[in-house]
């Protein structure tokens, strides 16, 4: 039994069983033992999972191009004339991981797109001190452009900016609920001796926020079917709208629309754990040492975005999005410049991961929101 598990057991002993939401929040975000607050390596070969930005620098390079085009639209100046003006391009990245995406965007802006670093402000919201330390180390060459902030700090002075959230929403704590004999139940965690054990409890009085969420699900569920309710995603949409005076939001995550998420293929929900590059459903094991995630319901995000003055511009597969931004052209140029070296071959294989069947882009979607 590790210290976080012991802490959870003691809390239940001293009070009452906790909802799965509370359990997931402690497992991931406890400030001493939670997964995202420990120094354990999480991303990359020695971690538990890869992100797109850690597969290939092409991901960040293409997003740099997208950000520059969005900046042009925000300030209403043609792309080819941006160099004549001193408007600051502000990018806000939420949950920047190792900092690799920020590095690749800034590097591409300077080296490929010839956009002066002096005209870029890159703000990072990062709740994890361990990840923030990694970011500061990697991003040292761009220290003049980068600032670590809290979104709440920006509410009093909203920005004209581009907000990027790459694999963020999937790790928000969720409520797991199911329908059982026409009753709505929520998953709770109790103890059996010194062991944590899950159980389903009837929801006697429906919380207003859960009821409002369910009203937006146009889907017929079957008995015992489990779904996840991500209320924090809804709160987050309001938060980013509040800090955005004008601009765009790029949300990249795995997930889908309701029809797919709630098909019988996902009868028991989409919750999964990542530990040493293996997926499992044993969320009561390796507590604080493994990631816990769920698929994002992009249909819900688009519906609630409207309530927060955010307009949906596009929603598509990550592979299609990257191809639209020029992924295949980038691959072709790499072949032409260096057709045979090992490094070139390695880089090209990494890029192919973004669009081949079974590659990293297979389950990822991209949602672009606008506030103008």
Give the tens place of pLDDT for each residue, 193-246: 889 999 999 999 989 999 999 999 877 889 999 999 999 999 999 999 999 999
Indicate whether 284 belongs to any domain: no
Give yes or no: residues 35 and 56 share one domain.
no
pLDDT value for 318: 93
Q: Of 110-119, 120-129, 140-149, 321-330, which range is least confident?
A: 321-330
* Calpha distance 330→204 (Å, rounded): 56
Instruction: Please check whether residues 259 and 330 belong to one and the same domain.
Output: yes
Q: Report if residue 10 sits inside a domain.
A: yes
Closest CA to 136 of 165, 102, 92: 102
Residues 272 and 149 in one domain: yes
Number of domains in the chain: 2
In a domain, 317, yes or no: yes
85 and 191 belong to one structural domain: no
Is 307 a domain residue?
A: yes
Write down the pLDDT at residue 196: 96
**359 and 213 together in one domain:** no
pLDDT, greater one: 160 or 276: 160
Predicted confidence at residue 49, as pLDDT, reads 66
Indicate whether 104 and 184 sit together in one domain: no
Tally the C-alpha atoms within 13 A of residue 136's C-alpha that lie toward its C-beta: 10
pTM over 0.85: yes
48 HSE (CA, 13 A, CB side): 20
CA separation for the pair 74, 158 (Å, rounded):
14
32 in a structural domain: yes
Judgement on whether residues 274 and 352 belong to the same structural domain of the protein: yes
Record the tokens describing residue 298, joined without a space. Answer: 């992009």
Tokens 């609920």 -> residue: 177
The answer to the question of residue 47 being in a domain is no
- The parent domain of residue 149 ranges over 52-172+233-278+291-371
Model confidence pLDDT, tens digit, residues 249-265: 999 999 999 999 999 89
Tens digit of each residue's pLDDT (9 = 90 or more) over 322-370: 999 998 888 887 777 777 776 776 677 777 777 777 767 778 999 999 9
Q: Does residue 31 form part of some domain?
A: yes
The pLDDT tens digits of the residues spanning 11-34 come to 999 999 999 999 999 999 999 999
* Same-domain status, 130 and 257: yes
- Same domain for 87 and 215, yes or no, is no
CATH of the domain at 336: 3.40.50.12710
Tell me whether residue 350 is in a domain: yes
- 102 and 12, same structural domain? no
């Amino acid at each position: 039994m590790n210290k976080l598990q012991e802490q959870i057991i003691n809390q239940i002993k001293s009070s009452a069983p906790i909802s799965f939401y509370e359990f997931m929040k402690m497992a991931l975000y406890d400030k001493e033992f939670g997964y995202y607050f420990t120094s354990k390596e999480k991303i990359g070969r020695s971690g538990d999972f890869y992100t797109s930005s850690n597969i290939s620098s092409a991901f960040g390079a293409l997003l740099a191009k997208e950000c520059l085009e969005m900046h042009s639209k925000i300030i209403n100046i043609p792309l080819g004339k941006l160099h004549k003006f001193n408007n600051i391009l502000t990018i806000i990245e939420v949950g920047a991981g190792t900092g690799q995406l920020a590095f690749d965007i800034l590097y591409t802006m300077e080296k490929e797109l010839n956009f002066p670093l002096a005209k870029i402000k890159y703000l990072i919201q990062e709740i994890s001190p361990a990840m923030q330390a990694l970011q500061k180390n990697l991003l040292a060459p761009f220290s003049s452009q980068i600032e670590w902030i809290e979104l709440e700090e920006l509410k009093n002075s909203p920005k004209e900016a581009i907000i990027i959230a790459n694999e963020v929403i999937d790790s928000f704590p969720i409520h797991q609920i199911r329908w059982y004999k026409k009753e709505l139940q929520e998953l709770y965690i109790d103890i059996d001796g010194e062991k944590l054990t899950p159980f389903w409890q009837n929801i006697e009085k429906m919380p207003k926020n859960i009821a409002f969420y369910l009203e937006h699900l146009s889907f017929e569920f079957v008995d015992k079917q489990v779904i996840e309710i991500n209320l924090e995603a809804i709160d987050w949409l309001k938060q980013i709208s509040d800090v955005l005076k004008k601009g765009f939001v790029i949300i990249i995550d795995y997930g889908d629309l309701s029809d797919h998420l709630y098909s019988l293929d996902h009868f028991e929900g989409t919750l999964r754990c990542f530990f040493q590059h293996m997926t499992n459903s044993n969320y009561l094991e390796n507590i604080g040492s493994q990631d816990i995630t769920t698929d994002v319901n992009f249909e819900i995000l688009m519906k609630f975005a409207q309530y927060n003055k955010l307009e949906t511009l596009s929603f598509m597969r990550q592979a299609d999005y990257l191809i639209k931004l020029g992924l295949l052209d980038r691959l072709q140029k790499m072949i032409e410049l260096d057709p045979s070296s090992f490094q070139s071959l390695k880089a090209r294989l990494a890029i192919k991961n973004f669009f081949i069947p079974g590659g990293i882009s297979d389950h990822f979607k991209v949602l672009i929101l606008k506030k103008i």
